[in-house]
């Protein structure tokens, strides 16, 4: 009897300690989130005073801009905590990865932003068992500004199968965002027909990230990029049948 009572006391203490530990961790997270929210409000107030705003986008239209999420702690849903992911990156110099539109647009990116921070297919990010190959990366390690710049096509020339349709890249996007990256997506049509305007959109985000309006001064005489509608999987299949990618 005494043994059972002792075991019950031990189990009860274990549950009590676990409960207290969880409450302490919840409090720590709430404190961090409160501090981060206060810092974000201060930054936003400073941006408003400088007349700097996040570039405007339209729902279900390109360009798509996804901002970095909280860099330390995430709290999605009841009792579910996501910690900042770790990135195992390695350089990739496979020239066969380049597409024609990528090579052309890379030259435009270099013209405006230089080749020190902008790279094309030179970074691979291994996430668990998956490897992501950003089309372009903008990396400023000193200021902690990281951008994944993507060119989205409705289907693959090699397989004719739909790609980059609505919600298809959500997992990848969210992982990068949780790692402190911004994600900017253009359509292939946009970067072919409006390369300078697409760069202006990137520069507008850089002005927001750096809180420096000088980032967009060289684009004063360039208009805004025209929106391009996102596509569903069935719409991508139709584009493949009509050789849509050859129309621009």
Are 122 and 42 contained in the same domain? no
Give which of 32, 16, 28 is closest to 71, Cα–Cα.
32
Q: Could you tell me the CA-to-CA distances from 90 to 85, 122, 140, 142, 174 in Å, in that order? A: 16, 8, 17, 19, 20
Structure tokens at 226: 């025209």
* CA distance linking residue 240 with residue 231, whole number of Å: 12
Are 156 and 227 contained in the same domain? yes
Are 43 and 59 contained in the same domain? no
Are 40 and 81 contained in the same domain? no
- In this prediction, residues 168-176 reach a mean pLDDT of 88
Q: Which residues pair with 88 in a beta bridge?
A: 126
Looking at 11, 30, 49, which one is the last position of a domain?
49
Structural domain harbouring 75: 54-246
pLDDT digits (tens, 9 = 90+) for 80-102: 344 455 666 666 655 444 566 88
- In this prediction, residues 61-84 reach a mean pLDDT of 64
How many structural domains does the chain have?
2
- Average pLDDT taken over every residue of the chain: 84
Are 61 and 16 contained in the same domain? no
Q: Which residues pair with 127 in a beta bridge?
A: 130
pLDDT digits (tens, 9 = 90+) for 195-240: 999 999 999 999 999 999 999 999 999 999 999 999 999 999 999 9
Long-range contacts of 215-220 (CB under 8 A, 24+ apart): 218/112
Are 20 and 109 contained in the same domain? no
Are 76 and 123 contained in the same domain? yes
Are 135 and 63 contained in the same domain? yes
Q: Which helix (H) or strand (E) holds 228?
A: strand 228-229
Are 146 and 231 contained in the same domain? yes
pTM for this prediction: 0.80
Are 19 and 37 contained in the same domain? yes
């Amino acid at each position: 009897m005494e043994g059972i009572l002792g075991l019950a006391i031990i189990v009860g203490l274990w549950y009590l300690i676990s409960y207290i530990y969880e409450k302490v961790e919840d409090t720590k997270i709430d404190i961090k989130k409160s501090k981060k929210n206060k810092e974000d409000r201060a930054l936003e107030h400073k941006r408003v005073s400088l007349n700097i705003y996040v570039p405007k986008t339209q729902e279900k239209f390109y360009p798509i801009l996804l901002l970095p999420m909280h860099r330390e702690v995430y709290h999605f849903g009841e009792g579910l905590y996501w910690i900042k992911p770790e990135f195992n990156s390695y350089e990739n110099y496979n020239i066969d990865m380049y597409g024609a539109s990528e090579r052309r647009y890379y030259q435009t990116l270099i013209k405006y932003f230089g080749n020190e921070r902008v790279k094309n297919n030179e970074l691979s990010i291994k996430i668990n068992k998956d490897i992501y190959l950003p089309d372009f990366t903008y990396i400023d390690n000193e200021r902690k500004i990281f951008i994944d710049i993507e060119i989205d096509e409705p289907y693959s020339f090699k397989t004719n199968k739909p790609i980059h349709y609505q919600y298809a890249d959500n997992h990848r996007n969210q992982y990068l965002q949780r790692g402190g990256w911004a994600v900017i997506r253009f359509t292939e049509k946009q970067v072919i027909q409006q390369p300078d305007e697409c760069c202006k959109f990137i520069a507008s985000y850089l002005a927001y990230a750096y809180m420096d309006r000088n980032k967009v001064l060289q684009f004063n005489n360039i208009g805004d990029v025209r929106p391009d509608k996102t596509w569903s999987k069935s719409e991508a299949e139709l584009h493949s049948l009509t050789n849509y990618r050859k129309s621009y």
